[in-house]
Chains A and B, each alone.
Chain A
Amino acid sequence: MSWILFSMVLSIVVLGGLLAATPWLMPPTECFTITVPPSAQHDARVVKLKWSYALCVAAVSIACAAGLSWALISVGNNNPTEEQLVFLTSAITETTLIPIGASFILMLRSRSQVKVLKEQEGWTTPTRRSATLIGNDFPGPLPLAWNLLYIPLVLGMIAFALLSYDRFPDQIPINADFSGNVNNYADKSLGSVLFPAMFAAFMGLVFTFTHWMTAISKKPIDPAAPATSALAYGRFARIQSLLMLIGGLTLSSVVGITFYLSALQMLSLEASAAIITVVALVWVGIVIVFSALTGQSGGRLAAQLRTTDEVVADDDEHWVLGTFYFNPQDPSLIVPKRFGVGWTINHARIRAWLLIGAFLAFTIGFSIFITWAIA
């Protein structure tokens, strides 16, 4: 089994681990997407719900990882047939999607149980308040200007490609099968030689867009602990934006360097793919570790710093299935996720849908453009 495939199995385990740990990563006033007082997190029944959710998700993920390993071993090391490739692709897709689906269903089950407990225990809040910080002492994501670093990267790649144009062979290997045999070449042309620069520009735009979305996100301030929750969220947003910046620049550079090295026949395509996979996985691993350390919206830090058990805000009614934020009264387009680490959109805002649509159109457009440019 090629170890690129092994790393896919590993990433399913890591993904499953993050999904299983999610109930412990949320802000202190959220439990399976339901607003509760922080002390409820230590209620024996709630703790039991969290553990049974976590163990189920972990079991499903391990089963999926085992299933994928079995699929990979059964196909074996030799050149897989067309049929086997289809089988492998669907196995990889399914074993990635099943833990996500299981986590969603198990979350919904635990959510309805927490809802019942909330009713029984009177964990509701009579007051409805909200808070924000104004002034410049508000921590937040890195300034967007940091993304200008992509410009020298792209320009450097263009300069290198043009200056070394004569040294590239007439055929540039661009694709290899699972066992490393090159099965697709591109004719040498400006389009194919400039591929890394176009890819870096694409990554730059995608990561800048993502960074901008975090910058315009609603800042989730807990009115019962405004300063500490703002601090926790600010640190979280800063770390996430920093990881995105470093990840985007590193991946673009590594793709560019390995592409040129393999085009100049100084590195095999398999080694290039291995290097890119390792770098991408290490980056994903770092993102997951930091997400687990800070928690969603800095929830773990916020939990440590919170001194009262008061809950004064409850917007559960706007979270459809605990997952989709739908609040026509809220002008925010982007909000932090309710279950999981990251951000989502306010589904009641047409502008938010347009943003997602524009993003998808840009990604698909780029894929078509790059295929055309290389061919």
Chain B
Amino acid sequence: MILEVDFGSEEPIYRQIRTQIVHGVATGELQPGDALPSVRVLAGNLGVNMHTVNKAYAVLRDEGYVAMLGRSGAYIADAARPASPARAREQEAQIVSDLRRLAIEYRARGGSFDDFVALATMQAKSVFTSKKGDDSK
């Protein structure tokens, strides 16, 4: 899969890397057991600091998407394998709060309930039905 970072974006680079790898896992472009490049290789190819990639991998590991073996081996972890039950509840709560925030923002701009649900359904459909190789966001 293609991983791209935008140095002009307000989103920190480690978050950009993290989000795209999660996207790759969601669409099946990255399968459990797939090797990720070592920290040095990924940092070199992207032209970013090694600490940035280290941080992205650490976040992915804590979220349960990536398993780290040794100093440089990073692999996509088994699906639905949260680091701990507490962690899983935390992730669920995070998603619920994100959805709530989006709904509030949509309503504040004068959007209707039906339109919000339609938009959410459309996005969910595009994510849950996209296959390996489909990079639409």
A136 touches B35 (CB 8 A): yes
Closest-CB distance, B16 to chain A (whole angstroms):
10
Closest-CB distance, B79 to chain A (whole angstroms):
16
Closest-CB distance, A352 to chain B (whole angstroms):
11
- Summarize A's interface: helix, strand, loop or mixed: loop
**Is A308 in contact with chain B by the CB < 8 A criterion?**
no
Of A68-76, A98-106, A127-135, A362-370, which binds chain B? Answer: A127-135
A329 touches B1 (CB 8 A): no
Of B40-48, B87-95, B113-121, which binds chain A? Answer: B40-48
Q: Which residues from B are CB-within-8-Å of A216?
A: 41
Closest-CB distance, B36 to chain A (whole angstroms):
6
Interchain CB contact (< 8 A) of A134 among B1, B8, B43, B47: B1
Q: Which residues from B are CB-within-8-Å of A126?
A: 8
Interface code A129-159, partner B: CB below 8 Å = 1, 0 otherwise? 1111111100000000000000000000000
**Is A331 in contact with chain B by the CB < 8 A criterion?**
yes
Interchain CB contact (< 8 A) of A135 among B4, B29, B41, B49: B29
Interchain CB contact (< 8 A) of A132 among B3, B29, B30, B34: B3
**Is B37 in contact with chain A by the CB < 8 A criterion?**
yes
Interchain CB contact (< 8 A) of B45 among A127, A135, A219, A329: A219
**Is B128 in contact with chain A by the CB < 8 A criterion?**
no
Q: Which residues from A are CB-within-8-Å of B45?
A: 130, 132, 218-219, 221, 332
Q: Which residues from B are CB-within-8-Å of A315?
A: 47
Interface code A197-228, partner B: CB below 8 Å = 1, 0 otherwise? 00000000000000000001011010100110
**Is A330 in contact with chain B by the CB < 8 A criterion?**
yes
Query: Which of chain A's residues has its CB closest to B40's CB?
Result: A331
Closest-CB distance, A84 to chain B (whole angstroms):
51
**Is B10 in contact with chain A by the CB < 8 A criterion?**
no
Q: Count A interface residues, CB 8 Å.
A: 25
A329 touches B3 (CB 8 A): no
Q: Which residues from B are CB-within-8-Å of A226?
A: 2, 4
**Is A327 in contact with chain B by the CB < 8 A criterion?**
yes
Query: Which of chain A's residues has its CB closest to B35's CB?
Result: A136
Task: Determine the distance from Cα of A7 to Cα of B91 in the docked complex, in whole angstroms.
Answer: 71
Query: Which of chain B's residues has its CB closest to A218's CB?
Result: B44
New A-B pairs, 5, CB < 8 Å, besides A218-B44, A330-B44: A130-B7, A134-B21, A221-B45, A329-B49, A331-B50
User: What would be 22 A-B contacts, judged by CB atoms less than 8 Å apart?
Assistant: A127-B8, A128-B6, A128-B8, A130-B4, A130-B48, A131-B4, A132-B3, A132-B37, A132-B45, A132-B46, A133-B1, A134-B24, A134-B37, A134-B42, A135-B1, A218-B44, A218-B45, A219-B45, A223-B4, A227-B2, A331-B49, A333-B44
